């Protein structure tokens, strides 16, 4: 029988015992698969730990199965080219998929490699980016292409990918797992939502503790040999099935064991602390218009990088 309300508690036990075992294994370099050892040992310890281990195995298997029949067909999923995957991840940072596809195709057609993109001028890149907003992404994209050219190849470790301009933890994990099969879990809004609901975790996701907890949990769930499929499955599951406002619970393969569903907390999870910082700023503007040959002209200038309200 499943016991609900215990996802987080179980996870706490799991992490505690996992740490004890890691310590144990450092003194005894033996080659027993870690999870089997932990699971067998856990059977004698605490029923909630058993619950967590079972939920973990079931979660990963179910998500992977769900992905085989529900995956979104996206053009960058037909390639393992890290440049193409990186480009898609940067475009999708603040853009909806449907809009992003057209831009990705245009960029790939015009600059099919990092070398081509690095050789373009910043103005050309910005012009191609027009309509996507957040132009710092385009500037960073261009600078990162130059970093790749300097390096001589696309970086292939999580740390070296993270060094690229404009690449944060999430994007680095996505590129590393999808392009290079590195076993690094992605943690974004979709992942927070799915995990907090399924395990009933109410630690605020925008706190250090929340980030640590969800990152550790996502990493624990990730099957090391299927990192690419698992990460993409989590992205798609959060975007299609376990959506923010109207999750499709009735057709969800996790409904039997989902904590939030059984405790009626779907719309309370994930928890986010509202840390609204109000900063007062004052700007002065000139609005320059003139009439010339019966035409009204307005003087405009592209804003510099660094701040949405940046002025010179």
Bridging pattern class, strands 295-298 and 289-292: antiparallel
Q: Which stretch binds ligand SF4 (CB under 6 A): 82-90, 105-113, 183-191, 239-247?
A: 239-247
Residue 247 touching ligand SF4 (CB under 6 A):
yes
Of the pair 108, 254, the CB lying nearest ligand SF4 is at 254
Q: Which stretch binds ligand SF4 (CB under 6 A): 49-57, 89-97, 256-264, 272-280?
A: 256-264
Query: Whose CA is closest to 114, among 164, 73, 177?
Result: 164
In a 13 Å sphere around the CA of 220, the CA atoms on its Cβ side amount to 24
Q: Among this protein's residues, is 89 annotated catalytic? A: yes
Please list, residue by residue across 8-44, b when 16 or more beta carbons sit within 10 angstroms of its beta carbon and e when fewer do: bbbbebbeebbeebeeeeeeeeeeeeeeeebbeebee
Of the pair 137, 265, the CB lying nearest ligand SF4 is at 265
Residue 239 touching ligand SF4 (CB under 6 A):
no
Among 15, 25, 252, 271, binds ligand SF4 (CB under 6 A): 252
Shortest spacing between CB 301 and ligand SF4, in angstroms: 47
Q: In the numeric block, which tokens belong to residue 237?
A: 């599951």
Helices (H) and strands (E) in the chain, counts: 14, 2
Residue 258 touching ligand SF4 (CB under 6 A):
yes
| 13/15 Cα distance (integer angstroms) | 6
Of the pair 164, 242, the CB lying nearest ligand SF4 is at 242
Q: Which of 58, 73, 78, 89 is catalytic?
A: 89
Question: For the chain, what is the largest distance between any 2 Cα atoms, rounded to a whole number of angstroms?
Answer: 89
For 86, the 3-state DSSP assignment is helix
| 131/109 Cα distance (integer angstroms) | 18
Of the pair 161, 194, the CB lying nearest ligand SF4 is at 194
Among 249, 263, 271, 272, binds ligand SF4 (CB under 6 A): 249
Among 164, 217, 221, 242, binds ligand SF4 (CB under 6 A): 242
Number of residues located near ligand SF4, criterion CB under 6 A = 15
Q: In the numeric block, which tokens belong to residue 92?
A: 């999708």
| 115/148 Cα distance (integer angstroms) | 8
Query: 35 CB contacts (<8 Å, ≥6 apart)?
Result: none
Q: Is 48 within 8 Å of 6 (Cβ atoms)?
A: yes
Among 142, 197, 233, 270, binds ligand SF4 (CB under 6 A): 197
| Contact flags string 261-280 toward ligand SF4, x per CB under 6 A | x----x--------------
Residue 52 touching ligand SF4 (CB under 6 A):
no
Of the pair 232, 257, the CB lying nearest ligand SF4 is at 257
Strands, DSSP E only, in 4-133?
none
Residue 260 touching ligand SF4 (CB under 6 A):
yes
Residues with catalytic function: 89
Q: List contacts with ligand SF4 (CB under 6 A).
A: 194, 197-198, 241-242, 247-249, 252, 254-255, 258, 260-261, 266
């Amino acid at each position: 029988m499943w016991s609900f309300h215990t996802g987080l508690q179980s996870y706490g036990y799991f992490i505690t015992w996992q740490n004890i075992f890691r310590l144990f294994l450092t003194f005894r370099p033996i080659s027993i698969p870690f999870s089997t050892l932990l699971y067998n040992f856990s059977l004698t310890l605490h029923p909630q730990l058993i619950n967590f281990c079972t939920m973990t195995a079931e979660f990963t298997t179910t998500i992977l199965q769900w992905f085989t029949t529900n995956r979104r067909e996206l053009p960058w999923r037909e390639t393992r080219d890290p440049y193409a995957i990186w480009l898609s991840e940067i475009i999708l940072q603040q853009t909806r998929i449907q809009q992003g596809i057209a831009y990705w195709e245009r960029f790939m057609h015009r600059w099919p490699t990092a070398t081509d993109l690095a050789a373009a001028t910043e103005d050309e890149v910005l012009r191609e980016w027009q309509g996507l907003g957040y132009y710092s992404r385009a500037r960073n994209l261009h600078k990162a292409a130059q970093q790749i050219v300097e390096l001589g190849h696309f970086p292939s470790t999580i740390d070296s990918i993270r060094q690229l301009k404009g690449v944060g933890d999430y994007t680095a994990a996505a590129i590393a797992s999808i392009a290079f099969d590195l076993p690094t879990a992605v943690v974004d809004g979709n992942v927070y939502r799915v995990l907090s609901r399924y395990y009933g975790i109410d630690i605020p996701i925008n706190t250090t503790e929340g980030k640590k907890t969800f990152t550790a949990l996502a990493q624990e769930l990730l099957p090391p040999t299927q990192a690419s499929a698992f990460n993409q499955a989590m992205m798609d599951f959060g975007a299609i099935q376990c959506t923010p406002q109207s999750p499709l619970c009735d057709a969800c393969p996790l409904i039997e064991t989902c904590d939030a569903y059984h405790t009626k907390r779907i719309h309370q999870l994930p928890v986010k602390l509202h840390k609204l910082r109000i900063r007062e700023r004052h700007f002065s503007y000139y609005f320059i218009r003139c009439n010339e040959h019966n035409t009204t002209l307005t003087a405009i200038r592209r804003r510099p990088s660094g701040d949405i309200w940046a002025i010179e």
